[in-house]
Chain A
Amino acid sequence: MEITENKLNSATVLALTGRLDGLASPALEKKIDALLAAGNRTLVLDCARLDYVSSAGLRVFLTTAKKTKAAGGKAAFAALTPGVREIFELSGFLAVLEVHPTAAAAAGA
């Protein structure tokens, strides 16, 4: 799992590459908590290169959406691969999370 951080408009974009499994998820949560503590309010999780997500990763996605909302910001998810999209769908996440086709759309919306 690789996490790359970029700025786009006023959003902080985290590009996720590889597998977001039970082993990798704590590092992402830590990274997001640090960004929120530093005052970042709009987060975009770019999933274009995310091949795999398990419930541990979904848990981080859901808590990120809740935490950013509580801080007066938001979290948006971009460019889901077909497999990750299916997992979002089965979990009911497509209905509760903000999902965009591209990171640029997610940062601009």
Chain B
Amino acid sequence: MVATIATAPRHTSLLPVRVMTALTQTITLTNDLAEIPRLADFVDAVCAPLDPTPKDMLALQLTLEEAVTNIINHGYRDGRPHTFTVALTVDSRSITAVVTDDAPAFDPLARPEVDTSLPIDQRPIGGLGVHLIKKLMHRTRYERHGDRNILTLEQQLSPTAPN
């Protein structure tokens, strides 16, 4: 686990100040669908201190499952076990997820848009995962660095009610 903590800015207000921290935590997963609950627990544990709304939490859980499931199901084509990582950086009211794998180059975001207006008989079965990632995240980016696919997903959290 890599943790970096930024020092809190000096405030003159008498109100309690939320300590500004940028904290990155990383989980290593294998290409097996049985890893999904472990991913879900990791996302829960990292994000819980931010007290996200249920809607934001669902968006993060869903997006990361989709990104990871794509790698597990389609990334590696040699039938062998592989590992890849999901790093979550929590900074004030934003969460950045970086999913890094060493599978063959593949840009999931380049997938053509799903037409969600088609009638049921014509609706394709696939493609919804990436569609949901794009709908639910504020920013998405794919890069190929050397032999690695790097998918970066950013979410700005909605404000939660003060306690």
Task: Give the interface of A toward B (CB within 8 A).
Answer: 19, 21-23, 52, 54-56, 58-59, 62-63, 65-66, 69, 82-83, 86-87, 90-92, 95-97
Q: Is the interface of B mostly helix, strand, loop or mixed?
A: helix
- 25 A-B residue pairs with Cβ-Cβ distance under 8 Å, sorted by A, are A19-B40, A21-B37, A21-B65, A22-B72, A23-B33, A23-B36, A52-B58, A52-B61, A54-B62, A55-B69, A55-B128, A58-B128, A82-B55, A83-B58, A86-B55, A87-B58, A87-B62, A90-B131, A90-B136, A91-B128, A91-B131, A92-B117, A92-B123, A95-B116, A96-B123
Asked if B132 lies at the interface with its beta carbon under 8 angstroms from chain A, I say yes
Task: Give the interface of B toward A (CB within 8 A).
Answer: 33-34, 36-37, 40, 54-55, 58, 61-62, 65-66, 69, 72, 114, 116-121, 123, 125-126, 128-129, 131-132, 135-136
Given contact pairs A19-B40, A63-B125, A90-B132, A56 touches B69 in the complex (Cβ within 8 A)? yes
Residues of B contacting A82 in the complex (Cβ-Cβ under 8 angstroms) = 54-55
Given A55-B66, A65-B120, A87-B62, 5 more A-B residue pairs with CB atoms under 8 Å apart are A56-B69, A63-B125, A66-B120, A86-B55, A95-B116
> Contact partner of A90 among B61, B117, B135, CB < 8 A?
B135
Q: Is the interface of A mostly helix, strand, loop or mixed?
A: helix
Instruction: Name the distance in Å between A47's Cβ and chain B's nearest Cβ.
Output: 14
Residues of A contacting B118 in the complex (Cβ-Cβ under 8 angstroms) = 92, 96
CA distance A69 to B99 in the complex (A): 39
CA distance A19 to B44 in the complex (A): 14
Question: Is B33 touching A22 in the complex (CB atoms < 8 A)?
Answer: yes
Instruction: Name the distance in Å between B106's Cβ and chain A's nearest Cβ.
Output: 17
CA distance A82 to B58 in the complex (A): 10
Question: Is B125 touching A91 in the complex (CB atoms < 8 A)?
Answer: no
Instruction: Name the distance in Å between B49's Cβ and chain A's nearest Cβ.
Output: 21
Question: Is B36 touching A62 in the complex (CB atoms < 8 A)?
Answer: no
CA distance A52 to B8 in the complex (A): 36
Chain A residue at minimal CB-CB distance from B115: A92
Residues of B contacting A56 in the complex (Cβ-Cβ under 8 angstroms) = 69, 129
3 tightest A-B CB contacts, nearest first: A92-B116, A55-B129, A55-B128
CA distance A66 to B132 in the complex (A): 21
Instruction: Name the distance in Å between A32's Cβ and chain B's nearest Cβ.
Output: 15
Question: Is A22 touching B65 in the complex (CB atoms < 8 A)?
Answer: yes
